[in-house]
A and B are shown apart, each in its own frame.
Chain A
Amino acid sequence: MLNDIMLGQYLDRDSIVHSLDPRIKILLVILFIIVLFISKTLLGYAVLGGFIIISTLIAKIEFKYILKSLKPLLFIISLTLIIHLFLTKGGEVIWEWKFLSIEEKGLNLGLFMAARLIFLITFTSLLTLTTSPLELTDGLEKLLNPFKRFGVPAHELAMMMTIALRFIPTLLEESEKILKAQKARGADFESGNLIQKAKSLIPLLVPLFVSAFRRADDLALAMEARCYRGGEGRTRMNELHLSRADYLIGGATAIFLIFVAILI
């Protein structure tokens, strides 16, 4: 039951998109999202859709992984579509049945909103699919660095993200172990109503929290033992360097996206 959760979505491929600097990728995703919300024409959306498809092809990512990322949000997307279809009024009436009716504006807006959500999710998942978690946190730290003077703890945020990512599999393994141990004592996690089910999770959650805190203590100690004192003056093995290709690809894509936002 715990194996269903998709983890470490990063797919290692040899592509231009993969080798692009993570900072450029993060900035492009932000720009893409802005453009997505500015753009209001059908042509604009068609171009953005095409842009996602082409980027996916260049990144050598199979489309099934992109579609997989949509699965958890399918419910929200369809809900948005349905609410807009029936509740947004205006324009010609397209379909009518008793008190329900679909009008032109509702259809348009619904489809646009759905497309917006789908584009948003697929393009951001393209970022996590082509960027390893480590690169991602590195890039984020570097991007947040200028805001340090305003009190943004850039290094600490990045470190927290790295640690959280690192411990997800460990905690999953741990919960599976505890689950089995409690099952061996006759615990029942499957049957009963919602309240009973929630209650039956106590024997799993309490030990899980205890062990998470113990691990956190151990980790803090281990980090201190290796002289960790926060990000101040810390050097890295792999420094992020913007190459000419990064500037070129990043610049060209940015210009393209801004062009889409302004002209179509």
Chain B
Amino acid sequence: MLIKVESVTHQYDDMGESVLNDINFSINKNEFISLIGHTGSGKSTLVQILNGLIKPISGQVFLSGEDITGKDVDLKKVRQQVGLVFQYPEHQLFEETVYQDVAFGPKNLGLSEETIEDRVKDSLKSVNLEYEEFKDRSPFKLSGGQQRRVAIAGVLAMRPKVLILDEPTAGLDPRTRIELMEEIIKFKEEFNLTIILVSHRMEEVFQLADRILVLSEGQLVFNESPTELTSKYHQLQQLGLGVPEITEVLVNLKEKGYDLNTNIFDILSAKDEIIKVLRS
């Protein structure tokens, strides 16, 4: 088990309500986890706790068996192992060249020049940016999609075991969004990563995740696979969340009496399923 979260509770000020309330779950190596929930459900707080940016007021988080909420934890090491890509990560770019910006993380880890160069090369390659073409360009002169890729490469260059992505596709055009998701799947394999994806796009979540964590008002409501979660469609809707639109169509058709498989999350397979059922 890579990450184990035990009865984590957090609140920001002493009097206020708790943002997270007795959260328990664990994540295995190489899993693709998705975290969904409403704005203000505590997602951002939770991911920051996982990489040691926030210390919960009670409860423990174990990373490879080591408690990272303890007193004398090497936070740098924790942050190296759990990479966190914030929302709109391109807003954190600051260096003169793409190379220097991607190298910022590894440099902070105190690595040698050659290692840093290797890492920058690999990281840029995994987000589909040509090393020679981009390394000397200013990150501020790139397009939005390219800037975001550079920022993600900057976190990848730290070679984390776990990569947390907070709405990585927010504000991108459809093509860039699809490309970026494909790159994420690719570098997950390449670097043997465990991924935690925070997203509001149910298609992404249901198509990619092995397991979905649903947060609502600081509580962990569901911790299930996409197929299991589809059967809880009505409860999800009550939380103001849902399933992908195409799955919703299938669920509604099934409720109307068609004998369909509702565990389909992309349009093409759904089309085939509907045609198959109509012909039979």
Interfacial residues, chain A to chain B (CB-CB below 8 A): 177-178, 180-188, 202-203, 206-207, 210-211
Number of cross-chain contacts by CB at 8 Å: 57
> A210 to B76, Cβ gap below 8 A?
no
> A185 to B108, Cβ gap below 8 A?
yes
CA A180 – CA B108 in complex, angstroms? 15
Question: Contacts A185-B108, A185-B158, A186-B80; is A207 near B48 (CB within 8 Å)?
Answer: no
Provide the main secondary structure of the chain B interface.
Answer: helix
> B93 to A207, Cβ gap below 8 A?
yes
CA A207 – CA B101 in complex, angstroms? 12
Q: Which residues of A contact B62 (CB under 8 A)?
A: none
* Complex interface bits, B65-98 against A, C-beta within 8 A gives 1, otherwise 0: 0000000000010011001101001011111000
Q: Contact residue range for chain B?
A: 20 to 34
> B79 to A186, Cβ gap below 8 A?
yes
In this complex, the member of A178, A182, A186, A211 whose beta carbon has the largest number of chain B beta carbons within 10 angstroms is A186
CA A133 – CA B86 in complex, angstroms? 33
Q: Which residues of B contact A211 (CB under 8 A)?
A: 91
Report the minimal beta-carbon distance from A3 to chain B, rounded to whole angstroms: 10
Q: Top 9 closest A-B pairs, CB basis?
A: A186-B108, A206-B94, A181-B92, A185-B105, A184-B84, A181-B86, A203-B94, A207-B94, A180-B53
CA A40 – CA B255 in complex, angstroms? 90
In this complex, the member of B92, B104, B155 whose beta carbon has the largest number of chain A beta carbons within 10 angstroms is B92
CA A177 – CA B48 in complex, angstroms? 11
- Asked if B244 lies at the interface with its beta carbon under 8 angstroms from chain A, I say no
> B92 to A178, Cβ gap below 8 A?
yes
Question: Contacts A203-B94, A207-B93; is A186 near B158 (CB within 8 Å)?
Answer: yes
Contacting residue for A186 out of B48, B76, B92, CB 8 A = B76
> A184 to B51, Cβ gap below 8 A?
yes
Q: A177-B86, A210-B140 are in contact. List 6 more A-B contacts (CB 8 A).
A: A180-B53, A181-B86, A185-B104, A202-B94, A207-B93, A211-B91
Q: Which residues of B contact A177 (CB under 8 A)?
A: 86, 91
CA A210 – CA B90 in complex, angstroms? 11
Report the minimal beta-carbon distance from A225 to chain B, rounded to whole angstroms: 20
Q: Which residues of A contact B140 (CB under 8 A)?
A: 210
26 A-B pairs whose Cβ atoms sit less than 8 Å apart in the complex: A177-B91, A180-B48, A180-B53, A181-B84, A181-B86, A181-B92, A182-B92, A183-B79, A184-B51, A184-B53, A184-B79, A184-B83, A184-B84, A185-B79, A185-B105, A185-B154, A185-B155, A185-B158, A186-B80, A202-B94, A203-B94, A206-B95, A207-B91, A207-B92, A207-B93, A207-B94
Q: Which residues of A contact B158 (CB under 8 A)?
A: 185-186
CA A2 – CA B73 in complex, angstroms? 24
> B48 to A178, Cβ gap below 8 A?
no
CA A194 – CA B95 in complex, angstroms? 21
CA A182 – CA B140 in complex, angstroms? 17
- Asked if B109 lies at the interface with its beta carbon under 8 angstroms from chain A, I say yes
> B53 to A183, Cβ gap below 8 A?
yes
Q: Which residues of B contact A182 (CB under 8 A)?
A: 92, 104
CA A46 – CA B85 in complex, angstroms? 60
Contacting residue for B155 out of A183, A184, A187, CB 8 A = A184
CA A184 – CA B83 in complex, angstroms? 7
**Residue of B whose beta carbon sits closest to that of A203:** B94
**Residue of A whose beta carbon sits closest to that of B154:** A185
Q: Which residues of A contact B86 (CB under 8 A)?
A: 177, 180-181, 184
CA A246 – CA B155 in complex, angstroms? 61
